Amino acid sequence: MQLTIDGLNLHYERQGSGKPVLILHGWGASIAAMRPVMNCMLRLGREAVALDFPGFGESAEPLKAWGVEDFAAITRKFIAEQGIYGCDCIAHSHGGRVAIYLASEEKSLFHKLVLVDAAGVKPKRSLKYYLKVWSYKLGVRLAKISLLDRAFHISERQKNAGSEDYRNTSGTMRQTFVRLVNTDLTDRLPMVENETLLVWGENDADTPLYMAELMQKRMKSAGLAVLKGAGHFSYADDYPRFCAMMDVLFKERT
């Protein structure tokens, strides 16, 4: 299904019946990546409402670089448009970042939150990281000197710099990615008052476990469930256990 908000064409899906659960995907993903979560909700008698964020899946790309506040604003308008105010929400990675921002602004927008390997805490940076950043910036300057660039193939080497997510984007979405990864929502965590379950992969390398522990400590009503052996897509890595936890939280019981 398609709708237009603020001039952007957005793709979304609604499946099932019962109380709605908003499902938000991570960076570089789409509704397709959250299909297992949607199927889990359907089996529990809930309506699954999933959105492709702007720039992902079948939704149009923003015309300028966005920050988390922009993704939050359009998600808020989507919730109003769909009439699901007060819904539960399951959000993965970047989707978790957006959910944290929204919940910190307006508690009643959501009922329960499930944040799965969520982004939002600025990562700890090592000396090695800062040296890599310095080397990259130096390379950008040196590549402008054609003689050096031809001799040492600097431009070609620069293409392999940065994280995989960074390399897989360009233009507006690359600028958006840089804005997002440099956004720290730690100060907003105490403002999230919703009952929250943090579901985390033990071996998550993208949003490491210490981020979940910080969220649990700072949020007013958060619990943490660690999936042993799972990575950043913990809901898929240990799907049976993930669904068992969702059953406890969300199943419609008579």
Residue 155: the pLDDT is 55
pLDDT of residue 240: 97
Alpha helices in the chain (DSSP H): 35-43, 68-82, 94-105, 127-143, 146-152, 154-158, 164-167, 171-181, 209-218, 234-237, 239-250
Query: Rounded CA gap, 155 and 90, in Å?
Result: 41
Phi, psi of 176 (to 5 degrees): -65, -45
Query: Low-confidence residues of the chain, pLDDT below 50?
Result: 126-140, 142, 148, 152-154, 158, 161, 254
**What is the phi/psi pair of residue 190, to 5°?**
-65, -15
pLDDT at 167: 56
Q: Quote the tokens at residue 167.
A: 């390399």
pTM for the full predicted model: 0.85
Confidence at residue 132, expressed as pLDDT on a 0 to 100 scale: 46
pLDDT at 183: 93
- State how far the Cα of 207 lies from the Cα of 215, in Å rounded to an integer: 12
Strand-pairing partners, residue 92, are 116
Domains of the chain: 2-122+184-250 (3.40.50.1820), 128-167 (no CATH)
Residue type, 129: Y
